[in-house]
Amino acid sequence: MIKLIVICGATATGKSGLALELARRLDSIILSADSRQVYREFDIGTAKPTLPEQKLVPHYLIDICAPTNTMTVADYQEQAQALIASPPLSVSSNTPLFLVGGTGLYIRAIARGMKIPRVAPHPELRSQLESIGQGQLYTMLQQVDPTAAQKIHPHDQIRTQRALEVFYITGYPISALQGENPPSYPILHIGLDCDSVNITKRISKRTQQMIADGLVAEVEKLCQKYGVDLPLLNTLGYQEIKQYLAGDISLPQAQELIVTHTRQFAKRQRTWFRAYPEIEWFDADSPDLLDMAWQRIQDF
């Protein structure tokens, strides 16, 4: 029977490193659950596994989408579920697979079997919706799908527009098309966490390493190839370096902003994952972390 081990938690808590060691012991593979690592060429700023790490343990669901395209949650779910249902021949039939990352929606899509409406983005409709103020859009959503409106923050423009897009294309409320169909195979959820002081230290150290590894050159190359308006270049780590390259701020200021914004992002991730009771939490800074996680997997 298929078994899945989820390793999740906030950014910079050491998920990838722990998963690498555990997967090596089991001779398994790692399925990435990171919404930016799916994009090719975005490597350093997304903390994508290095080529030596990928040689140690096969990684899947990274570098599967061009930066100019959009990987939807439904696209990700489809590819991940296909890999879980039919793992590579190199993986023994009784070996659990690893799903590793900090994108909560990706993990939920697999571990809880989210039902996601297969409605492709409609540029013309989106353009019309974007021309309307968020206040009016949210009022429209309350009228056509009050259930969805209760779950979407009044200021969340992206989710509001998406809910309206689904409604106007399908004629059905997005809330009626959603739900969950949990998989039948067993899943072990391992969460990594640490206190706010240590997470800040980890983020600072990782940001410094990213810059040392060539983040500035990576962003400069991407800007030249795709233009500064590429949406992915407005995401964490890339946007701040882009500001530096534009001469708006210094490199130390960019580095400080990356740390600040990443810390804020990590806080949101912690809040998301803490809402899921199935996650078993481990101290990311424990010297016995690997042994404790290994023992828990053996019990599983």
State how far Cα 132 lies from the chain centre.
Answer: 29
Average pLDDT across the chain, whole number: 94
What is the Cα Rg of the chain in Å? 20
Residues 103, 128 share a domain: no
Burial of 291 (0-12, 13-18, 19+ CB in 10 A): exposed
The pLDDT value given to residue 121 = 77
List, in sequence order, the alpha helices (H) in the chain.
15-26, 51-56, 73-85, 104-111, 123-130, 134-144, 146-151, 157-170, 174-177, 196-212, 215-226, 238-245, 251-274, 289-299
- Is the distance from CB of 66 to CB of 39 less than 8 angstroms? yes
State the CB neighbour count (10 A cutoff) for residue 181. Answer: 9
- Tell me the mean pLDDT in the region 120-146: 89
Domain final residue pick, 177, 196, 221:
177
- Percent of the chain at pLDDT above 70? 100
pLDDT for the residue 117:
77
155/166 same-domain check: yes
216 and 88: one domain?
yes
Q: What is the SS3 assignment for 18?
A: helix
pLDDT at position 239 over 80: yes
Taking the C-alpha atoms of residue 211 and residue 56, their distance in angstroms, rounded to an integer, is 25
159 and 18, same structural domain? no
Residues 128 and 108 in one domain: no
189 and 170 within one domain: no
In this model, does residue 68 exceed pLDDT 90? yes
We report the CATH number of the domain holding residue 157 as 1.10.20.140
CA distance 207 to 253: 12
The total number of structural domains that make up the chain? 2
pLDDT for residue 93 is more than 90 = no
Same domain, 287 and 148: no
Are residues 60 and 77 part of one domain? yes
Q: Is the pLDDT of residue 247 over 80?
A: yes
Quickly count: other Cβ atoms within 10 Å of residue 111's Cβ.
Answer: 21
Residue by residue, what is the 3-state secondary structure of 114-126?
ECCCCCCCCHHHH
Whole-angstrom distance, CA of residue 77 vs CA of residue 83: 10
Q: Whole domain around residue 148: which residue ranges?
A: 123-177
- Specify whether 214 is located in the same domain as 266: yes
Partners of 39 in beta bridges:
65
Of 177, 195, 215, which closes a domain? 177
Answer with the one of 177, 200, 219 that is the final residue of a domain: 177
* CA angle in degrees (0–180, nearest 5) for 34-37-41: 170
142, two tokens: 């309350």
> Sheet containing 187-193: which strands, arranged edge to edge?
59-60, 30-32, 97-100, 4-9, 187-193, 279-283
Query: According to the model, what pLDDT value does residue 101 have?
Result: 97
The token pair that represents 17 in the structure block? 């490193």
The domain that holds 96 is classified in CATH as: 3.40.50.300
The per-residue pLDDT for 70 is 87
- Do both 95 and 199 map to the same domain? yes
Q: Say whether pLDDT at 174 is over 90.
A: no
Say if residue 162 is in the same domain as residue 218. no
Same domain, 33 and 90: yes
Question: Which is more confident, 258 or 88?
Answer: 258
Mean pLDDT of 165-189: 88
Averaged pLDDT, 136-156: 92
Confidence of residue 182 (pLDDT cuts 50, 70, 90): very high
Residue 116 confidence (pLDDT) above 90: no
Structure tokens given for 98: 């690893």
Given pLDDT bands bounded at 50, 70 and 90, which one contains residue 124?
confident
Could you tell me which of 30, 5, 47, 9 has the C-alpha nearest to residue 237? 47
210 vs 228: CA distance, rounded Å: 20
Per-residue pLDDT averaged across 90-97, rounded? Answer: 89
Distance CA 166, CA 228 (A): 30
